Amino acid sequence: MNLMANIIINVVIAFLVGSLLLGFHRKVMARIQLRPGPPIIQHFLHSLKFFFKETSFPKTAAMPFYVAIACMYCAIWITAVIVGPISYGSLLLIFAIYAVYKIVEHNAGSSSGSPYGKMSCVRAVFSAAAEIPLFAVLVIIFFQTGTMNLGEIVAYQSANGPLIFSIPLAALMFFILLVSKSPYSPFSITKGKDIISGYETEHFGVLRGYMMLSESISWYILLWVFLTVFIGPLSLLGYLIGMVVITALIAIINTITPILNPNHSVMSQVSIAIIGIGGSLLIMLIV
Amino acid sequence: MDLASLGGNILGTIPLGDIVLYVTPFHLFMFVVVLIFTALIAISRTETQVEGSFGTLKDHKVSVGLSEFKSRRFLAIICGLATAGAMITGDLFNFTLFIALIGIVNVGIVSAVKQIDVLDAAYQYGIIAMICSLPLFGGASIILASTGTLSLFELASMATATPMMIFGSLLLLMGVAGETGIAPFFATKAEMFRTPGSPFILIIHLSSLFVIIRTIEILLIIIKII
Q: What pLDDT score does A223 carry?
A: 95
Amino acid (1-letter code) at residue A16: L
Q: Is the pLDDT reported for residue B110 higher than 70?
A: yes
Verify cis geometry, omega within 30 degrees of 0, for the bond prior to B184: yes
Q: What is the pLDDT of residues A203-232, one digit of tens each?
A: 888 888 998 999 999 999 999 999 999 998
Q: What pLDDT score does A154 carry?
A: 92
* Chain B residues whose beta carbon lies within 8 Å of the beta carbon of residue A147: 5
For chain A, how big is the Rg over CA atoms in Å? 19
Q: Is the pLDDT reported for residue B219 higher than 60?
A: yes
Q: What pLDDT score does A285 carry?
A: 81
Q: Is the pLDDT reported for residue B226 higher than 60?
A: no
Q: What pLDDT score does B31 carry?
A: 92
Q: Is the pLDDT reported for residue B177 higher than 70?
A: yes
Q: How many CB atoms lie within 10 A of CB B78?
A: 18
Are A97 and B29 inside 8 Å of each other by CB?
Answer: yes
**ipTM > 0.95?**
no
Are A143 and B226 inside 8 Å of each other by CB?
Answer: yes
Minimal Cα–Cα distance from B212 to chain A, Å? Answer: 9
Percent of chain B past pLDDT 70, that is, above it, reads 94
Q: What pLDDT score does A14 carry?
A: 94
Dist. CA A26–CA A98, nearest whole Å:
24
Q: What pLDDT score does A281 carry?
A: 81
Q: What range defines the domain where residue B81 resides?
A: 4-223
Q: What pLDDT score does A240 carry?
A: 94
Q: What range defines the domain where residue A21 resides?
A: 3-286
Percent of chain B past pLDDT 90, that is, above it, reads 22
Q: Is the pLDDT reported for residue B65 higher than 60?
A: yes
Q: Is the pLDDT reported for residue B184 higher than 80?
A: no
Dist. CA A130–CA A123, nearest whole Å:
11
Residue of B28, B40, B186, B198 to mutate for A, most A C-beta atoms under 10 A = B198
Mean pLDDT to the nearest integer, A112-130: 79
Q: What average pLDDT does chain A have?
A: 88
Q: Is the pLDDT reported for residue B225 higher than 60?
A: no
Are A96 and B30 inside 8 Å of each other by CB?
Answer: yes
Query: What DSSP string runs through chain B?
Result: --THHHHSS--EEEEETTEEEEE-HHHHHHHHHHHHHHHHHHHPPPPPEEEE-TTSS-EEEE---HHHHHHHHHHHHHHHHHHHHHHH--BHHHHHHHHHHHHHHHHHHHHT---HHHHHHHHHHHHHHHHHHHHHHHHHHHHHHHHS--BHHHHHH-S---HHHHHHHHHHHHHHHHHHT-TTSHHHHHHHTTSS-HHHHHHHHHHHHHHHHHHHHHHHHHH---
Dist. CA A271–CA A258, nearest whole Å:
19
Dist. CA A139–CA A142, nearest whole Å:
5
Q: Determine contact, residues A179/A222, Cβ cutoff 8 Å.
A: no
Query: What DSSP string runs through B143-201?
Result: HHHHHS--BHHHHHH-S---HHHHHHHHHHHHHHHHHHT-TTSHHHHHHHTTSS-HHHH
Are A125 and B190 inside 8 Å of each other by CB?
Answer: yes
Q: What is the pLDDT of residues A9-58, one digit of tens each?
A: 999 999 999 999 999 999 999 999 999 999 999 999 999 999 999 888 88
* Chain A residues whose beta carbon lies within 8 Å of the beta carbon of residue B44: 62-65, 68
Are B8 and A62 inside 8 Å of each other by CB?
Answer: no
Q: What pLDDT score does B1 carry?
A: 64
Instruction: Find the closest chain B residue to A121 by CA distance.
Output: B193
Residue of A90, A199, A277 to mutate for B, most B C-beta atoms under 10 A = A90
Q: Picking from A209-218, A275-284, B124-133, B208-217, which range would have the lowest pLDDT averaged per residue?
A: A275-284
The Cα-based distances of A40 to A30, A135, A232, B99 in angstroms read 11, 30, 28, 47
Q: What is the pLDDT of residues A256-287, one digit of tens each?
A: 998 888 888 888 888 888 888 888 888 878 87
Dist. CA A191–CA A254, nearest whole Å:
14
Buried b (16+ CB within 10 A) or exposed e, B43-77: ebbbbbbbeeeeeeeeeeebebeeebbeebbebbb
Instruction: Please give the span between the terminal C-alpha atoms of chain A, in angstroms, as a whole number.
Output: 44
- Residue of B79, B75, B81 whose CA lies nearest to B113: B75
Q: Name the band, by pLDDT with cuts 50, 70 and 90, for residue B208.
A: confident
Query: Does the predicted model carry a pTM greater than 0.80?
Result: yes
Q: Name the band, by pLDDT with cuts 50, 70 and 90, for residue B186.
A: low
Q: What is the pLDDT of residues A59-69, one digit of tens each?
A: 888 888 888 88
* Chain A residues whose beta carbon lies within 8 Å of the beta carbon of residue B212: 99, 132
Q: Which residue has the higher pLDDT, B214 or B19?
A: B214
Number of domains composing chain A: 1
Q: Is the pLDDT reported for residue B217 higher than 80?
A: yes
Number of domains composing chain B: 1
Q: Is the pLDDT reported for residue B196 higher than 80?
A: no
Q: Determine contact, residues A55/A121, Cβ cutoff 8 Å.
A: no
Are A64 and B40 inside 8 Å of each other by CB?
Answer: yes
Q: Which of A59, A65, A125 has the CB atom closest to B186's CB atom?
A: A125
Q: What pLDDT score does B95 carry?
A: 92
Q: Picking from A169-178, A223-232, A244-253, B184-193, which range would have the lowest pLDDT averaged per residue?
A: B184-193
Q: Which of B4, B196, B220 has the CB atom closest to A142's CB atom?
A: B220
Q: In chain B, which among 143-202 make CB contacts under 8 A with chain A?
A: 182-183, 186, 189-191, 193-194, 196, 198-199, 201-202
Q: Determine contact, residues A157/A94, Cβ cutoff 8 Å.
A: no
Q: What is the pLDDT of residues B43-56, one digit of tens each?
A: 888 878 787 778 88
In chain A, the largest separation of any two C-alpha atoms, in whole Å, equals 60
Amino acid (1-letter code) at residue A34: L
Dist. CA B219–CA A280, nearest whole Å:
18
CA triplet A156, A158, A164: central angle to 5 degrees? 75
Mean pLDDT to the nearest integer, A184-205: 82
Q: Name the band, by pLDDT with cuts 50, 70 and 90, for residue B200.
A: confident
Q: Name the band, by pLDDT with cuts 50, 70 and 90, for residue B223.
A: confident
Q: Name the band, by pLDDT with cuts 50, 70 and 90, for residue A146.
A: confident
Percent of chain A past pLDDT 70, that is, above it, reads 98
- Residue of B137, B66, B75 whose CA lies nearest to B107: B75
State how beta strands B59-62 and B19-23 pair: unpaired
